[in-house]
Chains A and B, each alone.
Chain A
């Protein structure tokens, strides 16, 4: 059974950093691209970033370019999202997802609240 379990969310002050993790199991992690998708409270879904199966390519939405870094450790079957210079508008639940263009599997999400 495919499982994706996010961790690392919480309350953080504007301008500070936070690192999210997503532990994957139930599939061959290094065969798949992975992504982060966020959802602000009571709002819709927004793609954040994607990383290729081997980590060689990364893609970001414009609003996080230069502030967020997606990475992966295939030996640990773990996906990461390093978030720097956080803003109040980054407040959202962050989901990791297995990507094939579409997102077939999602984690339960981890809430990041950016507030002073």
Chain B
């Protein structure tokens, strides 16, 4: 299985700040990477696929980048509604997820 190491595990940031979350794959996943947002008690919502393609309806303050084994999710101008847990997922092989990053407001 491809292991996805996500960092940090938790993050505290202020409104308007820029936030970065990283995901490291145990082998090259050729940009077969998605990012999800999950709010408490809710299902995950797709934000980004193919490492940098924004899902329809997702605000443009979210962006993804990376290649090979290293990927990141960036949130510009943090809003209160962005408080959530974020997961990365690779689909180059059988799907595997990162452990998640819990984002809170400072």
Q: Which of A14-22, A74-82, A84-92, A104-112 contacts B (4 or more CB under 8 A)?
A: A104-112
How far does the alpha carbon of A12 sit from the alpha carbon of B87 in the complex, in Å? 29
Contact (A106, B44) CB under 8 Å given A45-B89, A101-B91: yes
Number of interface residues of B (CB under 8 A): 20
> Does A27 touch B at the CB level, under 8 Å?
no
Rounded to whole Å, the gap between the CB of A40 and the closest CB of chain B is 12
28 A-B pairs (CB sep. < 8 Å): A35-B95, A37-B95, A44-B98, A44-B99, A45-B36, A45-B87, A45-B97, A45-B100, A46-B97, A47-B95, A47-B97, A95-B44, A100-B49, A101-B34, A101-B91, A101-B95, A102-B34, A102-B50, A102-B89, A102-B91, A103-B36, A103-B46, A104-B46, A104-B55, A105-B46, A106-B45, A107-B43, A108-B43
